[in-house]
């Protein structure tokens, strides 16, 4: 069946089987490989994307459920010219090692900071507890997210 | 230009693509004509294959082929061991695909090639495999009985027994004034990586060349194995290392799929890609850590350790994997750790069981053996009424004793020795940073419903495995220099760390290092990869040699151009100058390339101390890690940010192994922990307060960088530390943990067993 | 772990949804998908048809009035979090929901989905039973209301007919002076409960408890009220001693199975501790 939705600001229409998950649709049909697949059962968070501004697990959504939605992936949260403040903070704090969980972490952190720019460390940890990282041990990731808050606060 | 990139917290270059989602992992590759491979895996732990009927699967639309052992000429090739390849292990090697027998749930039986993974999985359900079940060997005890054999023709399930020995342990025990005997166990868990495994193979029939993507850890070794198995010269195979989502010892060894996918690609003449899913990963990526030990320690009354004696039994799973012997050997060889123990006799027996085969996981054997040893230390210190810190201080190998010989391992190993360091200094620093003196009064206290406990322990981590590494430098036409290295990336930041080393050595700005190209077989003549914390030492030292060789080559080339002697050439940041004012820039030498090597037969020993403060809710067995400090000396710090990241990351994995992670099987060999809802990984909210201080006070004498490997120390102490801290907290209940992981239930059971003692004690006036 | 094939429909009305569910064997409702899709990924569920309720906006309402709190079946955990009225309108619901899963799941998972999925270790079914909720459903035979106590039958098994759709969960009105407590123990934050206790009681002029409700989550085939524990509380001023006796009665009353995360004996002890602590929390006499 045909599904139409917006991805990173662009309207797309794809032809999918109902059983295709949104993450597979993004990765294989739209060639947006920044979103990663780590478990396919909704635990690890590597597949986190934004749907209508909210962080969701793309492995638990069917592509057909994205009809009419606004989807944003890590590619839509990036640009060629410079790192965003959140990305720069991840780099500054060495919050990245193998990079596999990173798009999911950044997308989740972006969703959190967009809604709660004054969140504290406990809240950051609570929210990120749905994103598994095997490399960093999380300390630097939490530091990076906290350090990026100022960029999200209204002037 | 004198640089000092080495030692600086340079931000990582690879982050520029990772934070944008522009990494390229093997599943991101999709060449035209790609077929997807899906593996049919045994659902029976032990059995004889009677028949495999693929006809129904082949009828499914979108299924291209189903490959079984029948499609391989002769019998399917076997996977030879890479490390410690003793002839005794040969009977236990794994075949790339099951032909007559299956020996673990998850063992590959067939490979379906389909237009999509989904169709491939539909096809799996249609392949009919008839297996005559045999009684499963589900643990070491059953394995040792010997009435159920995994390899009938071999007559035993015991693949080997290693012995680590020095001095005369038996005599020391006879003469000792205090002996403590205990049994301990560590639970099965593994180096789960966020990116599951994947292999993509492309066969170019016109040139008879095979390109394999998804290589990691040891691409050159794996090429060697594959070439033999598939009947191609090594030069006809290119192993390509893309971005790799974690290694930890588990990813990158040669697995059955590393043959099956290239074989499939050549068999059907189309590119084939296999991407492991998490369900498979849990049952088929190398397992690790499951061991039990019967161990005793002999001391004098004043707490000087005289001897260690014991026998460990390691649950190896169904086959000897390429590096399967390492952990078992390490349990024996490194039980003494950084401590001076003059008489040692530790045996380590490897038992085959009907479970997923075992390989290495960060700090292999060391996590287990440090748990055994540090628990024993706390128990014996209590027996002798000696302060636990003092007991350790008294027995650490002193700096004056370096280099200090490790016990000899038989069979096989060459002698090893602790290289350099002042272990007491690190112990003292850790106690100070942690605030041990202030916290000490909390030990065993019940405050606001929780019991408080402390622990301290020391470790060594081995690094810099030889024998060799290769690096190559090449000058580009824009004056930049490209670095090619035989080391592999597993997320540890090689593209930055090697750029730092190269920039310093070449005395050029870092932005003139155009890139660090790692792992793939096309980059250098002879690479050895990333394992045993060797990349910085081996790759970094090879890079220094390559720099010297490049400079020599520039001088030789310039001397011909300028018509002078090579010794008259001066190389500075961007000028190559000869006598009489003649000069050129790097751009004029574009295309020049030089390789360098580093040979090594000795290991480095990074070392340090961990200290922890935990609280326990005794009524439900819940442990909270309140504070944790580790001090590590790694000889030479190349990038303080990345090395701290390694320590913290490694530590959290260790805490996972101590408290959360366990792969459980039932007595039929069925894997019970089949998803991430059951196999519990640490998350951001589990261990919020951890500290790491990395020092570089004692460079290694065995390499020009003075570096020691530093990826594994964080994990090594965690099990022993957590268990000792819990024991300390629950002293009132006489709780003595002897098994990991320390689940809430296990703690609760020990507390309940200890309640009568508590009631009695508190009833006294 | 790709999903098995199925047909997909996205009806615009509830009647259509029911008709679609009735039209096939093995048709299932798709709400948030946070429980169903993982089961399909492991191929332990292979529905022939998924009926997506995403267009049924009537099911997204949270209504609070004198009769109590009514949660439309498609109300998400996030919607409950965002609705400030619920902090006072139903603090026990609010507290329990804060334990559910993780950030991303809370943006998709629904109360109706959780109720229909009926995992014995899930918070929402436990709250429904503890609070005497009613579950409104619509099916081929029309609409009916099922008492929570009758709704949950066994793990993942409910009283729903195959074509019935949960439309609303109705929680009775919550008096402002009510005492309540919720204590859960899970291995990690957001995991399913190893055991959890949801408790509330009202207090008379002498400070004694009545109308005690003590619900146990994760210690049986379905969430249950622990009447023996409730009896320990009724008519008493709740203090530490009362909480301990109630906890003991709670342990006594349950017989959980062993599973890979915990033995029955451990869970038995755990629920006692959770009840004890939830009561202490309710009474404002926190010990831990």
**What domain range is C46 assigned to?**
7-52
pLDDT, mean of residues B330-350: 97
Q: Residue B244, SS3?
A: coil
| Neighbors of chain A by Cβ distance (3+ pairs < 8 Å) | B, C
The answer to the question of residue C2 being in a domain is: no
Q: For residue C278, what pLDDT is reported?
A: 98
* Biggest CA pair distance of chain B: 98
For residues C26 and C65, membership in a common domain is answered with no
Match domain A85-152 to its CATH number in 2.40.128.20, 1.10.150.120, 1.10.540.10, 1.10.20.10.
Answer: 1.10.150.120
Domain locations along chain A: 2-77, 85-152
ipTM of the complex: 0.99
Whether C167 and C62 share a structural domain: yes
C262·B744 Cβ contact <8 A: yes
Chain C neighbours, 3+ Cβ pairs < 8 A:
A, B
B·C CB contacts under 8 A: 66
C1 domain residue, yes or no? no
pLDDT in tens, B193-246: 999 999 999 999 999 999 999 999 999 999 999 999 999 999 999 999 999 999
Q: Do A130 and C103 touch (CB under 8 A)?
A: yes
pLDDT on residue B757: 74
Distance CA(B682)–CA(A128), nearest Å, equals: 12
Interface residue C42 vs chain A (CB under 8 A): yes
Supply the pLDDT for residue B526. 87
- Same domain for C40 and C103, yes or no, is no
DSSP B154: G
pLDDT digits (tens, 9 = 90+) for C30-81: 999 999 999 999 999 999 999 999 999 999 999 999 999 999 999 999 999 9
Q: Do C1 and A18 touch (CB under 8 A)?
A: no
Tell me the chain A residues in contact with residue C38 when contact means C-beta distances shorter than 8 Å. Answer: 41-42, 60
CB atoms within 10 A of CB B185: 17
Same domain, yes or no: C165 and C187: no
Q: Express as a percent the part of chain B with pLDDT over 90.
A: 91
Q: What is the CATH number of the domain that holds C164?
A: 3.30.465.10
* pTM recorded for the entire structure: 0.97
What local confidence, expressed as pLDDT, does residue B126 receive?
97
Contact C147, C131 (CB under 8 A): no
Tell me the sheet residues that pair with B309: B296, B345
> According to the model, what pLDDT value does residue B764 have?
44
The topology (CATH level 3) of A2-77 is Ubiquitin-like (UB roll) (3.10.20)
Q: pLDDT class for B601, splitting at 50, 70, 90? A: confident
Other CB atoms closer than 10 Å to residue B640's CB: what's the count?
Answer: 15
Does residue C287 register a pLDDT over 90?
Answer: no
Chain A residues touching residue B684 (CB < 8 angstroms) = 124-125, 128-129, 131, 133, 138, 141-142
Q: How many domains does chain C have?
A: 3
- Let me know whether C46 and C114 are in one domain: no
Residue C140 and residue B510: Cα distance in Å, rounded?
A: 72
In angstroms, what separates the C-alpha of A34 from chain B's closest C-alpha?
A: 4
Pick from C225, A128, C55, A33: which is nearest to B242 by CA?
A: A33
**CATH number for the domain that contains residue C184:** 3.30.390.50
Confidence bin at B414 (pLDDT 50/70/90): low
Contact A87 B20 (CB under 8 A): yes
Q: Please give the interface size between A and C, counted as residue pairs whose CB atoms are below 8 Å apart.
A: 85
Contact B194 A44 (CB under 8 A): yes
- CB contact, 8 Å: A108 with chain C? yes
The Cα of A1 is separated from the nearest Cα of chain B by a number of Å equal to 17
Contact B638, B503 (CB under 8 A): no
Task: Return the pLDDT at B533.
Answer: 84
Is residue B539 a contact partner of residue B469, using CB atoms and an 8 Å limit? yes
pLDDT, tens only, A88-133: 999 999 999 999 999 999 999 999 999 999 999 999 999 999 999 9
Of C30, C33, C107, the CB nearest to A54: C107
Per-residue pLDDT reduced to its tens digit, B692-737: 999 999 999 889 999 998 888 899 999 999 999 999 999 999 999 9
**Contact across the interface for B448 and C288, Cβ inside 8 Å:** yes
Give yes or no for residue C181 having a pLDDT over 90: yes
Confidence category of residue B265, pLDDT binned at 50, 70, 90: very high
Residue C64 maps to a domain: yes
In total, chain A counts a number of residues equal to: 155
Q: Which residues 680-709 of B are in CB contact (within 8 Å) with C? A: 680, 682-683, 685-686
- Are A96 and B12 inside 8 Å of each other by CB? yes
State the pLDDT at residue B476: 96
Is there a single domain that holds both residue C165 and residue C64?
A: yes
Pairing of strands B198-204, B272-275: antiparallel
Q: Give residue B413's pLDDT.
A: 65
pLDDT at B763 over 60: no
Looking at the predicted structure, is the pLDDT value of residue C119 above 70? yes
Do C145 and C195 reside in the same domain of the chain? no
Residue C63 sits in the same domain as residue C114 = yes
Exposure b/e, B512-524, CB count within 10 A at least 16 = b? bbbebbbbbbebb
Considering only CA atoms, which of B256, B262, B323, B244 is closest in space to residue B284? B256
**B462-474 tens-digit pLDDT:** 988 889 999 999 9
With a cut of 70, say whether residue B38 has pLDDT above it: yes
Residue-level pLDDT at B2: 64
Residues C81 and C37 in one domain: no
Residue B542 confidence (pLDDT) above 80: yes
Dist. CA B211–CA C166, nearest whole Å? 54
């Amino acid at each position: 069946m045909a599904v139409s939705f917006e991805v990173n600001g662009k309207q797309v229409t794809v032809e999918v089987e109902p059983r295709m998950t949104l993450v597979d649709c993004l990765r294989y049909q739209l060639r947006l490989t920044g979103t990663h697949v780590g478990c396919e059962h909704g635990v690890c968070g590597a597949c986190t994307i934004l749907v209508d501004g909210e962080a969701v697990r793309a492995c638990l959504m069917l592509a057909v459920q994205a009809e009419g939605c606004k989807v944003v992936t890590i590619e839509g949260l990036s640009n060629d010219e410079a790192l965003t403040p959140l990305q720069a903070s991840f780099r500054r704090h060495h919050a990245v090692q193998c990079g596999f969980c990173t798009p999911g972490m950044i997308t989740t952190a972006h969703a959190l900071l967009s809604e709660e720019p004054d969140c504290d460390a406990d809240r950051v940890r609570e929210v990120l507890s749905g994103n598994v990282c095997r490399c960093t041990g999380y300390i630097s990731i939490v530091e990076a997210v906290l350090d990026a808050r100022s960029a999200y606060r209204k002037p | 230009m004198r640089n000092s990139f080495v030692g600086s917290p340079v931000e990582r270059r690879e982050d520029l693509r990772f934070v944008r989602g522009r990494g390229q992992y093997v599943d991101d590759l999709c060449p035209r004509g790609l077929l997807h491979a899906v593996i049919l895996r045994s659902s029976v732990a032990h059995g004889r294959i009677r028949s495999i009927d693929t006809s129904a699967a082949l009828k499914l639309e979108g299924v291209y082929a189903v490959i079984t052992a029948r499609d391989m000429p002769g019998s399917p090739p076997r996977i030879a061991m890479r490390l410690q390849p003793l002839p005794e292990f040969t009977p236990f090697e794994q075949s790339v695909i099951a032909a007559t027998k299956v020996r673990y749930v998850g063992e590959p039986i067939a490979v379906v090639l389909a237009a999509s993974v989904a169709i491939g999985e539909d096809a799996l359900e249609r392949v009919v495999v008839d297996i005559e079940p045999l009684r499963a060997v589900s643990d070491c005890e059953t394995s040792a009985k010997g009435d159920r054999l995994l390899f009938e023709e071999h007559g035993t399930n015991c693949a080997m027994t290693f012995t680590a020995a020095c001095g005369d342990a038996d005599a020391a025990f006879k003469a000792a004034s205090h002996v403590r005997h205990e049994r301990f166990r560590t639970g099965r868990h593994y180096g789960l990586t966020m990116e599951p495994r994947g292999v993509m193979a492309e066969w170019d029939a016109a040139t008879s060349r095979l390109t394999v993507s998804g290589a990691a850890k040891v691409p050159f070794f794996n090429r060697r194995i594959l070439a033999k198995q598939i009947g191609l010269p090594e030069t006809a195979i290119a192993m390509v290392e893309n971005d790799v989502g974690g290694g930890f010892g588990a990813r990158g060894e040669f697995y059955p799929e590393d043959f099956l996918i290239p074989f499939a690609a050549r068999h059907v003449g189309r590119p084939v890609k296999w991407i492991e899913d998490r369900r498979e990963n849990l049952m088929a990526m190398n397992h690790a850590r499951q061991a039990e030990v019967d161990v005793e320690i002999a001391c004098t009354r004043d707490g000087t350790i005289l001897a260690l004696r014991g026998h460990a039994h390691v649950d190896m799973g169904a086959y000897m994997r390429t590096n399967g012997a390492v952990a078992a050997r390490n349990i024996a060889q490194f039980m003494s750790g950084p401590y001076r123990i003059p008489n040692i006799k530790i045996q380590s027996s490897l038992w085959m069981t009907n479970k997923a085969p075992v390989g290495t996981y960060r700090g292999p054997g060391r996590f287990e053996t440090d748990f055994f040893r540090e628990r024993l230390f706390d128990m014996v210190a209590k027996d002798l009424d000696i302060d636990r810190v003092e007991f350790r201080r008294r027995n650490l190998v002193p700096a004056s004793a370096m280099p200090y010989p490790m016990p000899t391992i038989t069979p096989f190993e060459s002698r090893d020795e602790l290289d350099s360091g002042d272990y007491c200094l690190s112990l003292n620093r850790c106690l100070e940073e942690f605030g041990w003196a202030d916290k000490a009064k909390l030990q065993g206290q019940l405050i606001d419903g929780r019991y408080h406990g402390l622990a301290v322990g020391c470790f060594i981590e081995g690094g810099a495995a030889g024998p060799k590494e290769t690096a190559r430098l090449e000058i580009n036409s824009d004056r930049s220099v490209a670095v090619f290295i035989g080391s592999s990336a597993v997320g540890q930041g090689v593209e930055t760390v090697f750029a730092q080393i190269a920039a310093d050595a070449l005395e050029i700005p870092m932005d003139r290092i155009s890139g660090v190209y790692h792992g793939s077989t096309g980059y250098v003549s002879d690479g050895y990869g990333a394992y045993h914390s060797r990349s910085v030492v081996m790759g970094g030292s090879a890079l220094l040699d390559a720099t010297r060789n490049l400079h020599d080559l520039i001088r030789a080339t310039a001397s011909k151009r300028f018509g002078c002697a090579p010794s008259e050439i001066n190389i500075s940041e961007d000028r190559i100058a000869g006598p009489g004012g003649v000069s050129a820039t790097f751009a004029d030498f574009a295309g020049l390339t030089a390789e360098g090597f580093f040979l090594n037969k000795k290991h480095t020993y990074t070392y340090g101390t961990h200290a922890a403060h935990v609280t326990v809710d005794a009524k439900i067995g819940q442990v909270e890690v309140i504070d944790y400090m580790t001090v590590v000396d790694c000889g030479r710090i190349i990038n303080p940010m990345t090395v701290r990241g390694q320590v913290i990351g490694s530590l959290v994995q260790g805490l996972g192994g101590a408290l959360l992670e366990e792969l459980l099987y039932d007595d039929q060999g069925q894997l019970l922990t089949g998803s991430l809802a059951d196999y519990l990984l640490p998350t951001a909210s589990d261990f919020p307060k951890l500290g790491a201080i990395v020092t570089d006070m004692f460079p290694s004498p065995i390499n020009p960088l003075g570096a020691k490997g530093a990826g594994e120390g964080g994990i090594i102490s965690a099990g022993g530390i957590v268990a000792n801290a819990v024991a300390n907290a629950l002293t009132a209940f006489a709780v003595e943990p002897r098994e990991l992981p320390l689940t809430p239930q296990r703690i609760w059971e020990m507390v309940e067993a200890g309640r009568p003692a508590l009631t009695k004690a508190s009833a006294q006036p | 772990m790709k999903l098995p094939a199925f047909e997909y429909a996205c009806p615009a009305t509830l009647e259509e949804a029911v008709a679609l569910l009735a039209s096939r064997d093995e048709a299932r409702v798709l709400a948030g998908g946070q429980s169903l899709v993982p089961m399909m990924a492991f191929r332990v569920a292979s529905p022939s048809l998924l009926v997506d309720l995403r267009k049924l906006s009537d099911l997204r309402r949270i209504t609070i009035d004198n009769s109590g709190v009514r949660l439309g079946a498609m109300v998400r955990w996030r919607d409950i979090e965002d609705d400030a009225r619920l902090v006072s309108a139903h603090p026990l619901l609010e507290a329990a929901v804060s334990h559910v899963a993780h950030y991303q799941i809370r943006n998709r998972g629904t109360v109706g989905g959780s109720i229909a999925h009926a995992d014995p270790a899930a918070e929402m079914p436990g709250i429904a039973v503890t609070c005497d909720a009613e579950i409104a459903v619509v099916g081929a035979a029309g609409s009916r209301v099922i008492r929570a106590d009758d709704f949950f039958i066994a793990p993942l098994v409910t009283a729903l007919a195959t074509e019935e759709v949960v439309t609303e969960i109705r929680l009775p009105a919550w008096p402002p002076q009510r005492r309540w407590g919720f204590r859960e123990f899970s291995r990690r934050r957001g995991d399913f409960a190893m055991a959890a206790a949801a408790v509330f009681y009202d207090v008379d002029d002498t400070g004694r408890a009545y109308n005690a409700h003590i619900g146990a989550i994760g210690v049986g085939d379905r969430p249950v009220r622990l009447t023996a524990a409730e009896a320990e509380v009724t008519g008493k001023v709740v203090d530490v001693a009362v909480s301990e006796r109630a906890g003991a009665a709670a342990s006594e009353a349950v017989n959980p199975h062993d599973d890979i995360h915990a033995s029955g004996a451990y869970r038995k002890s755990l629920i006692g501790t959770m009840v004890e602590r939830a009561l202490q929390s309710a009474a404002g006499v926190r010990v831990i």
